[in-house]
């Protein structure tokens, strides 16, 4: 009787271990998927387009001051402002 109970216990433990191993495998697969998506997003971000932009000196100075206040480069400040305008225009 005790031997039968031990077998049932062993089977339950093995079954739980199998389920945990399956869950772990799914989690690892999801982690790999997330990492792949992050890598793709980073690669896409690196592929930024370049443009030549001519600005009036007074506008440049205002942007430079604003960028410094926001701890950004002038380029990052301009990109941020443009992104905000596009986001607002789209209504998000």
CA distance linking residue 34 with residue 40, whole number of Å = 10
> Do the Cβ atoms of 63 and 78 come closer than 8 Å?
yes
pLDDT average, residue stretch 72-84: 94
* pLDDT tens, position by position, 10-52: 778 888 899 999 999 999 999 999 999 998 888 887 788 889 9
Q: Model confidence at 2, in pLDDT bands (50, 70, 90)?
A: low
Give CATH for domain 49-92. Answer: 1.10.1220
> Mean pLDDT of all residues in the chain?
89
Neighbours of 77 (CB within 10 A): 19
């Amino acid at each position: 009787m005790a031997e039968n109970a031990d077998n049932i216990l062993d089977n339950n433990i093995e079954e739980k271990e199998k389920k945990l191993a399956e869950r772990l495998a799914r989690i690892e697969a999801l982690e790999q998927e997330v990492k792949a998506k992050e890598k793709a997003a980073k690669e896409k971000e690196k592929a930024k387009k370049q443009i030549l932009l001519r600005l009036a000196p007074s506008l440049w100075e205002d942007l430079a001051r604003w960028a410094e206040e926001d701890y950004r480069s002038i380029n990052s400040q301009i990109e941020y402002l443009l992104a905000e305008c596009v986001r607002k225009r789209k209504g998000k």
